[in-house]
Amino acid sequence: MALRDALVIIICLLAVPVSLVSAYFGVLMWTWIAYFNPHRYAWGIARYGYFQPALLIAVPTLIGALFAPKNTRVFVRETVLLASLWLWFAFTTFYITFVPDFANHLKEANLHLQEVSKILLMTFITILLVTSKKKLRILILVILASFGLKAFFAAVFYLKTGGQFQIWGPEGSFIYDNNDFALAMNMTVPLFFFMARAESSMWMRVALRGLMFCAIVCIIGTYSRGGLLGLSAVTLAIVAKSRYKILSFILVAIAVVCLVTFTTGAWQKRMGDFLQGNLDASANSRLVAWGGGWNLAMEHPITGGGFDVYTDAAIFPSFVPRNLRSRLYGLSGGLHSSHSVYFELLGEQGFVGLGLFLALLGSCFATLRRLRREAQNEPRLQWVDPYTQMFSVSILAFMVNGATLGRAYFDFLYQIVALVIILRILAAREVEAGTSEAQPVEELEAVAA
């Protein structure tokens, strides 16, 4: 057994009893495994064997959660929408068992439902167990450390090789694809930026800003066109929220000039073709998927075709518009993705599923905006402000980047939603604590009068 394999296995085994005693630690450990994927850096049994570190940590965490202190009043608007979306995923998977046309991808749909259910189960466990500001801060730092180390090593490699090689995520992980890796990095950039502003330690601020720079380099190095769109949206949002907007705009302009000057010819050609409207096979597959997804939703508007209908070669081509079918047949290996979170949900979960998803994201934005306004008028809630900024821009990054990427069930998004819910719960508790402290004073004044 290689040293790396032994180290990963020992760390995970030692974490099992700790997760059983402290379920919150289990959440941190599960987050680290899910995002850093330490077993993907091993060479033997930890990587290719039957060793499943995420499951190994999840089981004792779930058991420990039964006895751990938990948040109360968790049934806020976002949790109801999230639970409704989960139930709808289960319903559409059940429904397609009675539709003969969708029989060919029924097995894949059930497996996909299991994977999504694991994600959402741990999402709800996170909501229950992050019960304080300190725990929230530590969880976010674990997320940033997990993605930040990936970004650091990838950025060093990209810069060291002069940008000659495209950046990909760890093999076998949920961010292995270059587009997925760019999406994850785009969602972390605002977390790095606003967390650095909130930290009191100078070294923490320097480290977080350095890792943010590495994440930006990684987005560029993925050669992802959707990633570039997402980075543009994130940059504009951060500039708009900056205290020094003019200076920030100048710095961004300088960065754009450097980007155009120092990127490789291959990168410039790929982005230039995209901006000029020259479509390659990847872009053509998006038109095919979107056209077919729309027609599928028109025929099955309530439920869609269930998970993985886009890759069902037996039925999906029949929904592709006739003028695009030649492009479908020209794709080697057929269609591999919906190429959009919105069309993915529309085609797989119908208008109801898409509506629930958009309502969830809209609810998160509304809650963060309300919390931000309350923080401006309530000194007790000033700590909330940077969190509202980072979460709103991170969700925006997902929405923009995800418009060209079929990642509607992206793990990281649902954890951001969980963090929004946790922030809402903690802020409400803070306000209630302040009200209860003020109440005896009001009663004394009434008695004195």
Q: What is the pLDDT of residues 318-365, one digit of tens each?
A: 998 888 777 776 665 567 789 899 999 999 999 999 999 999 999 999
H/E run at residue 447? helix 411-448
Q: Check: CB of residue 14 under 8 Å from CB of residue 147.
A: no
CA dihedral sign of residues 428, 431, 437, 443: negative
Q: Using a pLDDT cut of 90, give the percent of the chain over it.
A: 63
pLDDT score, position 73 = 86
128-158 burial string, b = 16+ CB within 10 Å, else e?
Answer: bbbbebebbbebbbbbbbbbbebbbebbeeb
Residues of the chain with pLDDT under 50: 278, 441-449
CB atoms inside a 10 Å sphere around CB 80:
13
pLDDT score, position 87 = 98
Q: Check: CB of residue 67 under 8 Å from CB of residue 21.
A: no
pLDDT score, position 205 = 94
What is the largest distance, in Å, between two alpha-carbon atoms of the chain?
85
For the chain, the residue count is: 449
How many Å apart are CA 121 and CA 101, to the nearest integer? Answer: 30
pLDDT score, position 443 = 46
Question: Could you tell me which of 336, 335, 334, 358 has the C-alpha nearest to residue 346?
Answer: 358
pLDDT score, position 369 = 96
Residue in the block written with tokens 């608007």? 77
How many Å apart are CA 339 and CA 323, to the nearest integer? Answer: 19
Distance of CA 194 to the CA centre of its chain: 17
pLDDT score, position 248 = 67
Instruction: State pLDDT tens for residues 296-321.
Output: 999 999 999 999 999 998 999 899 88
Q: Check: CB of residue 130 under 8 Å from CB of residue 422.
A: yes
pLDDT score, position 441 = 44
